[in-house]
Structure 1
Amino acid sequence: MGAQDMERQALNVFRMRLLGAEVRAVHSGTATLKDATSEAIRDWVTNVETTHYILGSVAGPHPYPMMVREFHAVIGKETRKQALEKWGGKPDVLVACVGGGSNAMGLFHEFVDDKDVRLIGVEAAGFGIDSGKHAATLTKGEVGVLHGAMSYLLQDDDGQIIEPHSISAGLDYPGVGPEHSFLKDIGRAEYYSVTDEEALEAFKRVSRLEGIIPALETSHALAYLEKLCPTLPDGTKVVLNCSGRGDKDVQTATKFLKV
C-alpha cells in the first residue's frame, strides 16, 4: 500500500492489521495506488510460484478487469431487483464515482444493454480540471498502456505517467479500467468530474442531512448529483451507488473542513 495512502487510510490499515494482515508500505514514486500496484506486480512476477496476485479494481491485465466486474456485478443485480420492487421498473439514471472504476462497473454492467438507462461516472477533478492536479483520466487522459492494460491514462507527450491528485485515496489513480474506456468511446456511458472542494462540501452536507458519513470517493458522485438533479424532469428515478463509508476519511476531512 502506498505510504501516503496508509497515512490517509490509517483506520483501514489498523483494521487490516488487527485482523492479521501484513501491510507493507511502498515509498517509491508518489507512494500512492499506482506505485503500490506496480510493486505488487513486481513481487508477483518475481515470486510467481509462491505468490498469487489479487486486484480489487477493474484495471490491470485480463482477466482481472473481467473477474472484478463479475464479482461486483451483484451491485447492479440488486439495484435492478430493488428498483422493480420500489418503482415497478428500471431506474432512469445510474451515478457512481470512478477511480479505477470497480464500484461503477459493478453498478453499470447489469444495465449496459438497457439503452434507456443513463450511466454516469464521476471522476476526481482535484484542484480543477485544468490545474494539472487531478485524477480525471477519462475527461483529460490519452490512450496508453499501464499495468498491462490499454486504457485512458494521465500521461505527458513522451508517454510518461503524470502524477494524479485527489483528496480521495481511492480515486487517486492515473488510469481507469479498460471497460470504462470502451463505454466512453462507444458513447454508452458519460463521465464528468468534481473538485476536492465540491466533494468535501457534499461529504459534510450528506452527513448532516442524512446521518450517513459517505466515503470521500462517494462524495464525488454525491456532489455531481446536486448538479445533475436540476436538469432532470420531475419523477426521474436516479440511483447513486454509495460505495463506501466515510469513517476511514474523517482524519483527512478534519484537515480541510470546519464543523
Structure 2
Amino acid sequence: MMSSYLENTPDKNGYFGKFGGSFIPPVLEKPFEDIKNAYEKIKKDPQFIEDLKYVRKHYQGRPTPISFAKNLTQHCAGAKIYLKREDLNHTGAHKLNHCMAEVILAKHMGFKKVIAETGAGQHGVALATAAAYFGLECEIHMGEVDIKKEHPNVTRMKILGAKVIPATHGLKTLKEAVDSAFESYINQVDTAIYCIGSVVGPHPFPMMVRDFQSIMSLEAKEQFLEHEKKLPDNVIACIGGGSNAMGIFAHFIDEEDIELYGVEPMGKGENIGEHSATLSYGEEGIMHGFNSIMLKDAKGEPAPVHSIGSGIDYPSVGPEHAYLKEIGRTKVGLCTDEEAITAFYKLSQLEGIIPALESAHAVAFAMKLAKTLPKDKTILVNLSGRGDKDIDFVIENYPLEKL
C-alpha cells in the first residue's frame, strides 16, 4: 500500500510545491500528454503489474539484499552501516528498475524505438538491455568526455545493440547528452519514445521514474526490519538528477523519525565549475523542461559542473528533491572527489564490494555520519551501482600507491 505522501504528490499538473511542471516546445506537448495518460492507465492494469513483477523477480534478480557492512562499521566505530545492494541488480545498478517498466510502457503505446541520454552509462546500458529483451531499437546519447571515461559501458551498450551518439558540444558531459537526446527525439516523436533516465524532465517523468524506483524502499523496509527489528534511523543516497535517492526515500518519507540525506558532489571546490552541488549552491530555474533548483553562471544560464562521478555531474536536480529539501523533509550532505575515492577503496578493501564512484559519495558521507553517532544507531546506504565501469579510471588517476 503506497503511503499518503506518494498518493498525493505531485499534483495533477506534475508539481511538487512550486517545482516540476512541464515547460516544453509545442511539438512535444501531445507526446508527453500521451505518455502521462498511458502511464496513468497502465499502472493500474493487473497485467502490467504482473508483467513487471515477473521481470523483476526472474530477470533482474529482485529483491536485491541488504548487507550489514560489519567491517566498515568497525572501521568507523559508530553507527551500524547497512547497504541496499543495487549493485547486484542485473546490469549492475538501480537503473534497470525504471528502464524495464519504461520499455513495457513503450511497447504498450506501440513504439518501436527508445531514445535516452546517459551520464555514467548505467542508464544507457539498462535501457539497451531492456530494449534487447523486449525487441525495440535503442538510441543512446552520451557526452564525448563520458564516452572516454566510461568506455566499458559504451562497449556494453554497443554489444547490446544500441546506437551510441556522442554529444560533442559544450562540456560534452551529461547536460549536453540530454540536449542531444531531446533534439533527436523532436524529429522522431511519431515512432519513438524518450525514456528519461532520472527523476528529472517534464511531467510525468519525475513521478513515473520515482514510482518505478520506489521498489527499492518498498523492499528495504521489510528487509531492514528482518535485520534490526526496527526501521533505519538514517537513509543515505547520492544525488545527481536523483533517481536512486528518490527510490530509496519514497516509502520512508512518511516515517518522520527517519533522517533522509541526499549527498551531493562537492567535487574539487566551491567555485563554479568545480562541483555539482545543486541543492547547496543553486537557485530556482527552468532547464530541460522542468522547474527546479539549478546552478547558474553569471548570465543565468546552466553553469559548468564537475564531479568525479559521471552520473551525478548535472547542473539541476529532480524537482521532488528540491521540494523535499524546501519543506525540511530531507537534508543535504556533501562529498568531495577525494572523499569519494577514499570511500571507493575502503568499501572495496573492507567489504569486498567495489562501488560505483557515484555510490561512493553516499558511502563516504555515511562514514562521516557514522562516526558522529552512537553505536545503537543505524544507517542505510543505497549502494546504487557497482564500480566495474570506474576501475580503469580510478587506477589510472588515483593509484593506491599515491593515496
TM-score of the alignment, normalized to the shorter chain, above 0.5: yes
- In structure 2, the gaps of 5 or more residues are 1-141
User: In the aligned structure 2, how far is the partner of 1:110 from the partner of 1:210?
Assistant: 27
Output the amino acid matched with 1:198: E
Residue aligning to 1:232 = 373
Cα distance in 2 between the residues matched to 1:170 and 1:205: 21
Considering fraction of residues, name the structure with more strand.
2
Distance 1:21 1:57 in 2: 19
Distance apart, 1:132 and its partner CA: 4.2
- 1:232 counterpart letter in structure 2: L
In structure 2, distance between residues paired with 1:81 and 1:7: 40
Structure 1 residues 132 and 43, CA gap change in structure 2 (3 angstroms): closer
Q: Aligned-pair distance for 1:147? A: 0.4
Q: Distance in 1 between matches of 2:272 and 2:169?
A: 24
What RMSD in Å do the two structures reach over aligned CA positions? Answer: 1.1
CA distance in 2, matches of 1:123, 1:201: 16
State whether residues 279 and 332 of structure 2, in contact with CA within 8 Å, keep that contact through their aligned partners in structure 1. yes
- The reply to whether residue 147 of structure 1 matches residue 288 of structure 2 is yes
SS of equivalent residue, structure 1 residue 23: strand
Deviation at 1:234, TM superposition (A): 2.2
Letter of the 2:338 partner, please give it.
Answer: E
Alignment of 1:50 onto 2:214: no
- The match for 1:253 is 394
Q: Distance in 1 between matches of 2:263 and 2:207?
A: 21
Provide the residue aligned with 1:26 in structure 2.
167
Cα separation, 2, equivalents of 1:51 and 1:83: 40
1:25-104 → structure 2 map (5 Å cutoff) = 25-104=166-245
- Structure 1 runs of 4+ with >4 Å offset: none
Gaps of 5+ in 1: none
2:347·2:354 contact (CA, 8 Å) conserved in 1? yes
| Residue number among 265, 271, 275 corresponding to 1:124 in the alignment | 265
Task: Pick from 312, 316, 320 the counterpart of residue 171 of structure 1.
Answer: 312
Structure-1 separation of matches of 2:160 and 2:246: 28
Residue equivalent to 1:242: 383
Distance 2:328 2:156 in 1: 40
How many residues are treated as equivalent by the alignment? 259
Q: What is the distance in 1 between the residues matched to 2:194 and 2:182?
A: 7
Q: How does 1:101-116 map to 2 (within 5 A)?
A: 101-116=242-257
Offset at 1:14? 0.6
> What is the percent sequence identity of the aligned residues?
47
12, 24, 36: which one aligns with 2:153: 12
Residue 332 of structure 2 corresponds to: 191
Task: Tell me the alpha carbon deviations over residues 50-83 of structure 1, each in whole angstroms, 9 at most, x when there is no partner.
Answer: 2210011001111001110011001101110101
Structure 1 residue 203: Cα displacement: 0.6
Larger Rg: 2
Match of 2:299 among 158, 163, 167: 158
Match of 2:342 among 195, 201, 205: 201
- Distance (whole Å) between structure 1 residues aligned to residue 397 and residue 200 of structure 2: 30
Q: CA deviation at 1:43?
A: 1.4
Q: Following TM superposition, by how much is the alpha carbon of 1:245 offset from its aligned partner in structure 2, in angstroms?
A: 0.3
- Structure 1 length as normaliser, TM-score? 0.97
Report whether the alignment pairs 1:138 with 2:279: yes
1:47 positional shift: 2.0
Q: Write the letter of the residue equivalent to 2:181.
A: A
